[in-house]
Amino acid sequence: MADTASFIAGLPEDRQAPVSALIDALRTHLPEGFAEHCDGRMVHFAVPHGLYPDGYHCNPKQPLPFISVASTKGHIGLHHMGIYADPALLQFVESHWDAASCGKLDMGKGCVRFKKPERLTAAVPLLQQVFEQMSPAQWIARYEGAFKR
């Protein structure tokens, strides 16, 4: 199993500091209860089985995913399941996004893409606020209402 430090060290040099700052913001600003792990391709923050024994519905052996950080050839991706599942959180991101410093919001359903590392650095203060808005208990309730059948 890979660790987060190895993941960051394996990134292109211009991405290491912004991704490290993003992961530090997650560690500092996520409510208590989320657990960090790295699979070598992404760094994940999830609800551990100790808090949610059912795990992820697609694979119950995995903890319930919440946020993942990835680095692909074309962008740095922040995969935030809360933004995908909670319209109020999505609206918060959209209404507080500063296009002047962060660039145009490049987003899929729950993935915010940063094609330029400096745009991620500029977005971290807003993302810190986003990270603080959903606890593991709130995410479990939202997840069960939106995804689990």
One-character DSSP codes across 69-88:
EEE-SS-EEEEEHHHHH-HH
pLDDT computed for residue 1 by the predictor: 55
* Cβ neighbours, 10 Å, residue 121: 17
Q: Which bin fits 143, alpha (ψ -120 to 50), beta or left (φ > 0)?
A: alpha
The pLDDT of residue 148 is: 62
Counting beta carbons within 10 angstroms of the beta carbon of residue 149, is it exposed (0 to 12), middle (13 to 18) or buried (19 or more)?
A: exposed
**The token pair that represents 121 in the structure block:** 């650095």
Q: Tell me, what's the pLDDT at 145?
A: 87
Give the CATH class of 4-146.
Answer: alpha beta
pLDDT for the residue numbered 9:
95
Predicted pLDDT at 2 = 77
Query: Cα separation of 99 and 142, whole Å?
Result: 29
Cα–Cα distance, 145 to 149 (Å, whole number)? 8
31: exposed, middle or buried (C-beta count within 10 Å: 0-12, 13-18, 19+)?
Answer: middle
Whole-model pTM?
0.93
Kindly list the domain boundaries of the chain, sorted by start residue.
Answer: 4-146
Q: Which residues of the chain are under the pLDDT cut of 50?
A: none
- Residue-wise pLDDT for 4-43, tens only, equals 999 999 999 999 999 999 999 999 999 999 999 999 999 9
Please tell me the predicted confidence (pLDDT) of residue 109. 87
